[in-house]
């Protein structure tokens, strides 16, 4: 059974061995937004405890490089805890950004 934790920028569902984070914003661009997400991720990673974390980008159409940096930090922190990160539902334009920046070699993308 998944528990939902309602937050404005994201929806978090905690399962037995997986946590799913769905982004609500179509554009992840401003510093305040990224700071809020960073704080949310700190709590999620702490609670995730070495499980799989899936980031659902179904609603996201645009993001800044600052947000890519946050994703890299989240990935690193999860790996240190023995967890895994997967990005899902990237639209074709976002997927191209990950390909151009070679981040497809870093992230598991489905």
Q: Which two tokens stand for residue 3?
A: 């528990």
Instruction: Report pLDDT for 5.
Output: 47
In the chain, the number of structural domains is: 1
CATH of the domain at 37: 3.30.750.24
C-alpha pair distances (Å), 29 with each of 8, 54, 68, 73: 15, 21, 11, 17
What is the domain extent for residue 27?
A: 3-109
pLDDT tens digits, residue range 33-45? 999 999 999 999 9
Quote the CA–CA distance of 25 and 20 in Å, as a whole number: 16
Q: pLDDT by residue (tens digit) across 10-59? A: 999 999 899 999 999 999 999 999 999 999 999 999 888 889 999 999 99
């Amino acid at each position: 059974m998944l528990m939902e934790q309602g937050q404005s920028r994201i929806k978090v569902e905690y399962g037995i061995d997986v946590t799913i984070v769905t982004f609500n914003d179509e554009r992840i661009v401003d510093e305040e937004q990224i700071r809020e997400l960073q704080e949310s991720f700190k709590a999620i990673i702490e609670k995730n405890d070495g499980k799989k974390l899936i980031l659902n980008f179904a609603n996201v159409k645009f993001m800044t490089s600052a947000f890519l940096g946050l994703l890299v930090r989240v990935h690193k922190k999860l790996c240190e805890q023995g967890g895994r990160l997967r990005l899902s539902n990237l639209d074709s334009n976002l997927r191209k950004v990950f390909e151009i920046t070679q981040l497809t070699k870093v992230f598991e993308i489905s």
